[in-house]
Structure 1
Amino acid sequence: MQKTSNAFIAASWFALLIGMAAFIVGLWNATMLLNEKGYYFAVLLYGLFSAVSLQKTVRDQLEGVPVTGIYYGLCWFATLSAVLLLAIGLWNASLTLSEKGFYAMSFMLGLFGAIAVQKNTRDNRGAEPTTTPDVTNSSSSLS
């Protein structure tokens, strides 16, 4: 397996951090009630976690790692429900269309970044050479 390039690793972290930071700064500066801000923040955290879990589960299946059907389905459900919860919240919010677009795009950028960072982490772990300790005749040297 080939190691991921440093440029893509940096771009992935940049996408994750910029997406999260933009979303959170947008919430910080918003004139909405604190419970609304909490809702959007919780949806962001839920979406990031579910996207990483989905990426890992899909990758496990592709690599032949056993994954239960219920967990696979729950990962898809969680990721899609996070996106749906954001969409419903934005649809019903009293925000301008440009603000709604800002939250949607920063949310999706954060999800993409989280998936890419997790992918890079896994790819680079798989690209590392595995070493096994040399245990041949180690007991004879103790005698």
Structure 2
Amino acid sequence: MSNDNEVLLDKGKQKDPKMKVARKEGEPTPAFIGASWAALLVGVAAYLIGLFNASMQLNEKGYYFAVLVFGLYAAVSLQKAVRDKDEGIPVTNIYYGISWFALIVSISLMGIGLFNAGSIDLSEKGFYGMSFVLSLFAAITVQKNIRDAQRARERD
């Protein structure tokens, strides 16, 4: 008789569309993962589309593209170093320092480049600055989500 009840309970669980999917402790929600990826894609795509359509010289476009790539890498690298250090994973002081330095340099290069860009309207400068910051923040968040999901899987 208990087997019949278990079968009925199992069938009832499958038919309930509002039943929540169990997540592991520390695992980010699918909505947060999707929002993070969307922010990263929107930020990078907006920046690159703006850069493609800009009326600046090719070497200027290359500069802003390189600053974006450098900034994304530096932000993810710093997030990993900070997280490793927090979790007791060994991180050398030189790598930790270089990660901070690289992020500060990339943000500084973006600010200096936009400040000195005489051919770019103020509204365009704001657009590049905001899409750059959105992209950096989203890259950090995506990397954090990947790390949290991996950590949750390893706990099983």
Give the AA of the match of 2:153: E
Name the residue aligned to 2:42.
18
- Scaled by the length of structure 1, what TM-score is found? 0.89
Name the residue aligned to 1:53.
77
**RMSD (Å) for aligned C-alpha atoms:** 1.0
The answer on 1:98 being equivalent to 2:123 is yes
In structure 1, distance between residues paired with 2:52 and 2:111: 19
Give the AA of the match of 1:80: I
Name the residue aligned to 2:134.
109
SS at match of 1:4: coil
- Scaled by the length of structure 2, what TM-score is found? 0.82
In the TM superposition, 1:1-143 aligns within 5 A as 1-94=25-118, 95-129=120-154
Give the AA of the match of 1:30: A
Tell me, which stretches of 5 or more residues in structure 2 are unaligned? 1-24
Structure 1 stretches (4+) deviating beyond 3 angstroms?
Answer: none
Q: Percent identity?
A: 60
Tell me, which stretches of 5 or more residues in structure 1 are unaligned? 132-143
Q: Deviations over 1:9-56 (max 9, x none)?
A: 001001111110000000000000000000000000000000000000
Greater radius of gyration (CA): 2
- Aligned length, in residue pairs: 131
